[in-house]
Chain A
């Protein structure tokens, strides 16, 4: 019996490996010595300038070889004027390899500069940026980002939670309206995160990364991953965590991931000097995010008022904005931003599905009631209107 099991297992492994071996042989044949039949066609070199920083008397550009061939960087220019520069670690970039170009340059605050790099075959790649001194990582900046994160993430969410008693006292129908409203709010946030992710992919991510597909892949994977874990969490609920609390927790996590993305965007914008964070903008984010507190409060409103748990969830949802601002401000990368935003979108869609299930379970499995439809629509409308302030 054991014997049979073993041989069948070996057969299974072999049958899995055979196609891989065959593929390997084919690739070896194509690229191997003496094979020249794939030598036609032209591969054009391509580099992407991923980031431009303005430091004291110099401009730094982070570049990546995003083409299909190895390249050699030959010269640098600022506004199309050739400048001596340094490149670290060296001029030759293999596929996907990155390098740091340092151009000594006395730039003027707030003026736009176009940084160009010419490769050995004479092709030039460029990217523009507004000159703003990159803030050096300092205690002040760390606390500044923390304060922004608090204003944008934590405080609005906690304010939103104050709707808890209001929702707790309403009739079942009205409560359903608010649950649907929450789902509407979240759906909007998820779509917003995808939009943001796609925007960054088009603007800053090299074509080689297939930004749009990266967004799609991560949204789906994070949705499935969180769906799986939330089902596990809910099915394992003991007395201490009731189902509404579990759903509230999942919403808080989803919103937290979303706020991480939001903080990332704010931190990066400040760090790269793209926007000055005006008080107006902070107010806009605050109004926008207050609705997120409502989303957490709604599913828990029919249970016992658990002040401690509510505050904790508020923190779970809000604090990631601070971390996001730190990451975005100090080690921004468009790739990371796209990844975080997509995870956030997947998380939020998972929460939307949970809420929809919750509503259906609660009320004779119908989803077409007037209160639900209008709640959903009003939720999206509120988000759209408050988004105008941001």
Chain B
């Protein structure tokens, strides 16, 4: 009897103690913070100061390895193709573009996303030709889904990259057309569901230069894009050239009094509009780059999906100048950058082909 009684008492006690511990564990969350640890101080890109014994969730700093995609390199990288002359004197430019859709990339610090790529990057390579050149693009689809390349511009229906889907696992197609019209154009995959193929990263810029060329300038490309990492048909991150806040952290170095020419393409999915605002300056804007006469002199330009154009400006005063989406939501989700203008003798650093 006595044994039974103590057994019962023990069981009851154990039960009560067990429930008590469980309730405390689930109720009082922070038990494992080391109070003896010295707090570190961290200055954020927005100017706020964080003191913590833990880790910092920093939306701009990439810790450790270098980025898989280098926005600095992409900014001023133009691909003119493998050049040869046809018998009639036409310049032939040949490109090879390979599509893949299994790559996981750190698109924002700590955030890993399955990007679909042309030649391994988002955006794909910037293709550049002169009006009248014959452009030949050898397309190989190494992805797990059908893909195509649909170039904006003037070409035959069968070169439109819409109805001739290129099969997965090594399917091939050669797109051939005469470069034109003059301007800046997007290219992108045109397989349904279109939104999925574009928002995952299958796009790039195609530039057609006028035969007589444009005035020398420091030229760069900016693709306004974003990523919907949780697939709720709303972008989680916005950027110019893929990496959120990149140029805010790594300002684009330019020279004062040198002509800057930016080829801008808005490829953003999900949001109806996007825009660009330049600080401390105004620019000449050429919609689609098809005319040599600017349509406006402004500091804000608005883009719908697929809209693009050329911006030209010079900075008179040295210093840091912000450029960002004046749709500030996008700006605060990554679409912000800085031009760092410096006084310099060397004004033709980038102006030559």
Contacts and interface: CB of A to CB of B under 8 A. Distances in A.
A84 B230 contact: no
A136 interface: no
Given A84-B46, A85-B50, A101-B57, A333 B27 contact: yes
B164 interface: no
A82 B33 contact: no
A80 interface: yes
B302 to A, nearest CB: 21
A105 B50 CA distance: 11
Nearest to A90: B55
A352 to B, nearest CB: 23
Contacts of A62: 29-30
Contacts of B109: 74-75
A91 B236 contact: no
Interface of A: 50-51, 62, 64, 72-77, 80-91, 97-102, 104-105, 118, 120-124, 209, 331, 333, 335-336, 339
- Identify whether the interface residues of A are mostly helix, strand, loop, or mixed: strand
B59 A75 contact: yes
Contact of A81 (B23, B56, B113, B332): B332
Nearest to B37: A89
Q: 8 closest pairs, A vs B, by CB?
A: A122-B229, A74-B110, A88-B54, A84-B44, A86-B52, A104-B48, A98-B29, A336-B27
Contact of A335 (B27, B52, B111, B229): B27
Given A80-B329, A102-B50, 18 more contacts: A51-B29, A73-B57, A75-B109, A75-B110, A80-B333, A82-B237, A82-B244, A84-B44, A84-B50, A85-B57, A86-B42, A86-B51, A88-B53, A98-B29, A105-B48, A120-B112, A121-B229, A339-B23
B49 A104 contact: yes
A80 B328 CA distance: 11
B117 interface: no
Contacts, number: 130
B225 interface: no
B34 interface: yes
Contacts of B32: 89, 97
Given A91-B110, A123-B229, A82 B55 contact: no
Interface in B1-35: 23, 26-30, 32-34
B334 interface: yes
Interface in B36-74: 42, 44-46, 48-60
A388 B333 CA distance: 45
Contact of A84 (B34, B53, B56): B56
Interface of B: 23, 26-30, 32-34, 42, 44-46, 48-60, 108-113, 227, 229-230, 236-237, 244, 329, 332-334
A123 B333 contact: no
B44 A335 contact: no
Contacts of B244: 82
Contacts of A335: 23, 26-27
A333 to B, nearest CB: 4
B55 A91 contact: yes
B57 A98 contact: no
A82 B28 contact: no
B146 to A, nearest CB: 24
B30 A86 contact: no
A289 to B, nearest CB: 26
Given A98-B29, A118-B236, A84 B23 contact: no
A50 B33 CA distance: 17
B110 A120 contact: yes
Contacts of A97: 32
A209 B244 CA distance: 36
B29 A64 contact: yes
Task: Identify the interface centre among A50, A118, A336, A339: most chain B CB within 10 Å of its CB.
Answer: A118
A89 B34 CA distance: 7
A88 B59 contact: no
A339 B28 CA distance: 13
Given A104-B48, A104-B49, A50 B29 contact: yes
Contact of A75 (B29, B34, B45, B111): B111
Contacts of B26: 209, 333, 335
A217 to B, nearest CB: 10
A99 B46 CA distance: 23
23 contacts: A62-B29, A62-B30, A75-B59, A75-B110, A76-B57, A82-B332, A84-B44, A84-B48, A87-B56, A87-B57, A88-B33, A88-B54, A89-B34, A90-B54, A98-B30, A100-B30, A120-B111, A121-B112, A123-B229, A209-B26, A331-B28, A333-B29, A339-B23
B125 to A, nearest CB: 25
